[in-house]
Amino acid sequence: MTENIYIRLAGQHVEWLVMDPAEQHPRLRGEAPIDELGARLADITWLGSTVVLLQAEDVLLTRASVPSKQARQILQAVPFAVEEQLASDIEDCHFALGGRYDSGEVSVAVVDRRLFEQRLDSLRQVNICPEIVLVDVLQVPLDGSVSLLVDHDRLLIRTGAAAGLSFPLEQMAQAIGLLSVAQRADLIIRVAADQRETIDLAVNQVNAEYNMSCSVVEQDLDSLEYLCRGLDWRGLSLLQGEFQVKQPSTGRRGIWRSVAILGLVAFVLHLTVLFGQGLYLERQAQEFELAAQQLYAEIFPTDRNVNDIRRRWRAKLADAGNNTNSDFVSLFAAAAKNLPGSNLVLGNINYNDSRGDLILQVTASRSETMVAFVQQLTVQGLKAEIGAISQEADVVKGSIKIKSGGGA
């Protein structure tokens, strides 16, 4: 699988994870004021999806009774069906539709249009264009009919497939009081281990006040990672109507996503050539060939012919070279040529067309290995430098930025 970036917007504050859901831990995480997001993510790469979560406080989750089954007619009727629940005029709101309940009602999410535009614009200004925008409370996995999650100073309560609320944690008793007696039965509150002590007293008060036995379950994951790992990819996304994504691979990652993926495949193909020369075992060759076929099928689903995969990839790479900055081809060729024998493990690749930077995310047993690789590129007339380095267990992870010798 590939890494995704998950970004949660909370007013003027942002927190994010870069994570492959199949891996045990996120590769990167952070938080910052939204106006610092571009600088903080400048050298961070990912090849998967860009997912944005909005806080439940910014979204009205409701349902509407609309007899029509035609999507266009439903969308036209929904604003008037929920008008009495709105704090703003219809024209100031953006409406997104989800699935139908058994009752025939349609699930609806409503957000202030100007607020939503501002949120998206703040991301676009740093070249990030999400492919899906979800509501955080709807990512809380359902435990029966109701699920509760302590999210720092908030309490998220999910009450259905497309229904939920958020309350300040200090209002836990009032929030649980809104649930029916049936919903309060065998209620479970999930909380990160480091927040357990902060809610024990409140839970005891709730149990006493409502004569119930609400239990607390500690979890190793913090609340954001817990939400992202339980992400409902088919859930209600706010990117509908005028905000619908025209091209799934847009945004900062979209500048170079196709090139980056093709570049990664080029590296795979480069390895297949090397083992063809006897430098790799036949078993590894088969694995790389299979990886190339799988990536090709994922990126070009309409082309089902994966025979002679090297020839087909070369054709796609040639097309990419005709449609993108040609510096990418030369920079990546230089990097790929020096990677075998460097003792570096290549992670992700990021080519920024506007700056002409090729950024490699690599892993090594020690930082000196990265230094040697950079020196080797410098000798060949390229400008290379090491970015942020982090020590994780017995390996070192970091980024290497490469520019042509004539770059600034």
**pLDDT in the model for residue 390:** 77
Give yes or no for a contact between 32 and 243, defined as CB atoms under 8 angstroms apart.
no
What's the confidence (pLDDT) of residue 60?
95
Alpha helices in 249-281 (DSSP H): 251-276
Report the alpha-carbon distance of residue 311 to residue 1 in Å, rounded.
24
**What does the pLDDT average to over 146-158?**
95
Q: Are residues 9 and 1 in contact, defined by beta-carbon separation less than 8 angstroms? A: no
Residue 386 has pLDDT above 50, yes or no: yes
Percent of the chain at pLDDT exceeding 70: 77
CATH of region 327-408: 3.30.1360.100
- Is residue 318 predicted with pLDDT exceeding 70? no
Report residue 108's pLDDT band, with 50, 70 and 90 as the boundaries: very high
Give the model's pLDDT for residue 58: 94
Helix axes 327-338, 309-323, angle to 10 degrees: 140
What DSSP assignment string belongs to 168-224?
EGGGHHHHHHTS-HHHHTT-EEEEEGGGHHHHHHHHHHHHHHHT---EEEEESS-HH
Task: Determine the Cα angle at 140 with ends 173 and 215, to 5°.
Answer: 45
Tell me: pLDDT of 321 over 90. Answer: no
**DSSP code, position 25:** S
Whether residue 144 has pLDDT greater than 60: yes
> Lowest mean pLDDT: which of 85-94, 120-129, 139-148, 305-314?
305-314
Task: Give domain 1-136+230-248's CATH number out of 3.90.1200.10, 3.30.70.260, 3.30.420.380, 1.10.3720.10.
Answer: 3.30.420.380
CA distance 121 to 130: 11
Pairwise pLDDT comparison (139 vs 318), residue with the higher score: 139
Contacts of 328 (CB under 8 A, 6+ apart): 256, 259, 263, 320, 321, 351, 353, 358
> What is the Cα–Cα distance from 155 to 172, expressed in whole angstroms?
7
pLDDT in tens, 244-263: 886 554 334 444 445 555 55
Mean local confidence (pLDDT), 107-111: 95
Q: Which amino acid is at 178?
A: L
**Best mean pLDDT range from 113-117, 303-307, 362-366, 386-390:** 113-117
pLDDT at 265 over 80: no
Q: What is the mean pLDDT of residues 321-347?
A: 70
Where is average pLDDT lowest: 41-50, 73-82, 346-355?
Answer: 346-355
pLDDT value of residue 130: 93
Distance from CA of residue 246 to its chain's centroid? Answer: 18
Closest CA to 377 of 328, 330, 335: 335
Q: What is the pLDDT of residue 173?
A: 92
Q: Across the beta sheet with 345-352, what order do the strands follow? A: 345-352, 357-364, 395-403, 383-392
pLDDT at 397 over 80: yes
Tokens 């460097």, located at residue: 342
pLDDT, tens only, 61-98: 999 988 877 777 888 899 999 998 988 899 999 999 99
158-162, 172-176, 334-338, 380-384: segment of lowest average pLDDT: 334-338
Same fold, 1-136+230-248 and 327-408: no
- Pick 376 or 349 by higher pLDDT: 376
pLDDT in the model for residue 251: 39
Higher-pLDDT residue of 180, 392 = 180
pLDDT at 163: 93
Cβ 57 vs Cβ 128: under 8 Å: no
What is the Cα 75 distance to its own chain's centre?
28
Domain boundaries, the chain: 1-136+230-248, 142-219, 254-324, 327-408
The pLDDT of residue 39 is above 80: yes
Burial of residue 162 (number of CB atoms within 10 Å: 0-12, 13-18, 19+): buried
- How confident is the model at residue 7, as a pLDDT? 97
Which CATH code for domain 142-219? 3.30.420
If one compares 105 and 283, the residue with the highest pLDDT of the two is 105
Q: What's residue 252's pLDDT?
A: 45
Q: What is the pTM of this model?
A: 0.65
Comparison of pLDDT for 348 and 397, the residue scoring more: 397
Q: What is the pLDDT of residue 323?
A: 45
